A and B are shown apart, each in its own frame.
Chain A
């Protein structure tokens, strides 16, 4: 059994895993790129080793180097986090071949679920419903895809075979626009995954994205921890998640049915460790298997908040060969949790990524608030990695309390130096459709605009005008009247003049 864990990741998730290891009394080894020398995961870990230059392929994707460092440092296990090497079966296999534990599923399960065609065939055979599409028919040419498209029906989705995270994905409304979209999707897939193969899938309209968290130990116990609602997305990137789902709500029968199907899907690939089964759910409560994420999810904290289960600790426990710490009948969902992904993106400028030094940061705290982050004042957000800078999670006894708490926490949060999507989340919290739980995966792109949201609320133009004028006034230095004390103009004449006015 291992007592030292290497974390093959960076950012907030590396910090999250480090915390679990610390609480379990395990020693920790961090790895880092040249851009991350001062990152929080390097500062928190017991040991830290340089991988290489900033680009991922030279650092966090260097599986060979990571295994070498694990062996040299005496780490007995590797936790991959999410992204990077987390869903690479060859890496998981190499870890096992080196005599180390991989804190995640078996390579065979990663491979089975990583190839979407195999995944669909496997779960379909186990009686799990799947969305109609060309997956499982191999790499098809544009001509073949164009021929098959009308059979599936429009609208449909073009998706990258090797994909994930929305890259290489396009919505097609009709046959005429399809050739151009195929080209764009293949180009993006090629750039992101080195594999330009794509497949078609029927677009389930009005669909919600609801996923089930599962845990499986090596002794054959498989349980689910209920669902997460992840329908608030933009360009297929999740922005906000909650548990439970407002759509499933009180329908305990639906929750258990989805949970059982998820457990069945996991068992179909002999799954071990934590995983997530993603479903598309239509308005009639039909649900279809979308894919399985064979790793820890970004949004795992909402499930932790409502179930009280520490999923990362459970992962480590499983990797040590121990049984799960709870049974299905012990799982209870308590209250409501919401997570906002705080990204370095400007919501007023088409969510353009923003880079730079975090000059100032004030985190929200207080009852029911959790912040998972990898940045701090002075840290530079670089263009090399994704734009997630923190996750803000709140827990309340009801959904209404959670929303009000999230509003309060977003108001408290101050980040200076990069633009963030906090104003987007604030507008979302004020949206009547969001409050009523009436949204699907198209909501953000089709029904939500920052400008309309700004128009719809009580505004303070006079205060805004006054503040901008005071700043402009300060900046032009036409006067030193209104200025922070320790920044006062040093002109003695002005001081004398003011002194005289006061004592007149």
Chain B
């Protein structure tokens, strides 16, 4: 199986050959790859060198924490890559932004109203968790809609609080 893996501007062609051989940009490497105790910690031995990393799946792809550096990584298999290229690249982003609670907490205030126009960076909700007040901001300009919380509400992690359309 062949994958096209991207980190920022850099692209790697990675082919899984068998149990312990992979080809990175055509160069064959001997690898020994294991998950440690439980995901997401992984150990990689490659040509005698030992690496350990945290690897998380995110909404945008993968996130690798390796030796104190974070790498946002996109992995697509060859077929998907060809398909995307054929359709002019990239998935079309949905227009609506749904503000989800990044952690459980208490809604301190909602400084915006339904139907209000907001700019990128405007504060949408102030959420208190772990004794800190966190300002959750709009990633883009738009109109506030479907406000589902009010001050004093307790929210769960991942709960949608409002949308910007």
Residues of A participating in the B interface, judged by any CB pair closer than 8 Å: 165, 167, 187-188, 191-192, 344, 348-350, 352-355, 359-360, 383-387, 410-411, 414, 416, 423, 426-427, 430, 450, 454, 457, 459-473, 475-476, 478-479, 481-482, 484-485, 487, 498
Contact = CB atoms under 8 A, between A and B. Distances in A.
25 contacts: A349-B102, A352-B102, A355-B157, A383-B103, A383-B105, A383-B129, A383-B130, A386-B130, A387-B132, A416-B41, A459-B69, A460-B66, A463-B44, A463-B46, A464-B7, A464-B73, A465-B73, A466-B14, A466-B24, A468-B64, A471-B42, A473-B16, A479-B1, A481-B16, A481-B19
Q: Which of A416, A465, A479, A485 has the most CB of B within 10 A?
A: A465
A463 B51 contact: yes
Interface of B: 1, 3, 5-8, 10, 12, 14, 16, 18-20, 22, 24, 29, 31, 33-35, 37-42, 44, 46, 51, 53-55, 57, 61-62, 64-71, 73, 75, 77, 102-105, 108-109, 128-134, 157
A187 B75 CA distance: 45
Q: Which of A188, A344, A355 has the most CB of B within 10 A?
A: A355
B41 A353 contact: no
Given A383-B104, A463-B46, A465-B14, A191 B3 contact: no
B5 A469 contact: yes
Contact of B71 (A430, A464, A475): A464
B52 to A, nearest CB: 8
Q: Which of A192, A427, A471, A478 has the most CB of B within 10 A?
A: A471
Contacts of B134: 350, 352-353
B103 A468 contact: no
Contacts of A352: 102-103, 134
A12 to B, nearest CB: 15
A469 B7 contact: no
Contacts of B29: 466
A352 B65 CA distance: 17
Contacts of A355: 103-104, 129-130, 157
A408 to B, nearest CB: 12
B70 A423 contact: yes
B38 A359 contact: yes
B130 A468 contact: no
Contacts of A165: 131
A189 B77 CA distance: 52
A349 B56 CA distance: 14
Given A360-B37, A454-B70, A459-B69, 17 more contacts: A191-B128, A348-B70, A349-B102, A353-B129, A355-B130, A460-B67, A462-B24, A463-B44, A463-B46, A463-B53, A464-B7, A465-B24, A466-B12, A466-B44, A468-B71, A469-B3, A473-B3
A142 to B, nearest CB: 19
B83 to A, nearest CB: 16
B33 A470 contact: yes
Q: Which 3 A-B pairs have the closest CB atoms?
A: A426-B68, A468-B73, A464-B71
A343 B50 CA distance: 28
B130 A387 contact: yes
A427 to B, nearest CB: 6
B19 to A, nearest CB: 5
Contacts of A167: 131, 133
Contacts of B33: 467, 470, 482
A385 B70 contact: no
A468 B38 contact: no
Contacts of A426: 68
Contact of B130 (A187, A344, A465, A487): A344
Q: Which of A386, A423, A457 has the most CB of B within 10 A?
A: A423
Q: Which of A187, A192, A430, A469 has the most CB of B within 10 A?
A: A469
B31 to A, nearest CB: 7
A454 B18 CA distance: 33
Contacts of A460: 51, 66-67, 69
A467 B42 contact: yes
A454 B69 contact: yes
A354 B103 contact: yes
A501 to B, nearest CB: 8
A258 B42 CA distance: 49
A466 B31 CA distance: 10
Contacts of A410: 68
A462 B27 CA distance: 12
A272 B69 CA distance: 46
B68 A427 contact: yes
Contacts of B103: 352-355, 383
B75 A467 contact: no
B104 to A, nearest CB: 5
A468 B75 contact: yes
A486 B66 CA distance: 25
B151 to A, nearest CB: 10
Contacts of B62: 468, 471-472
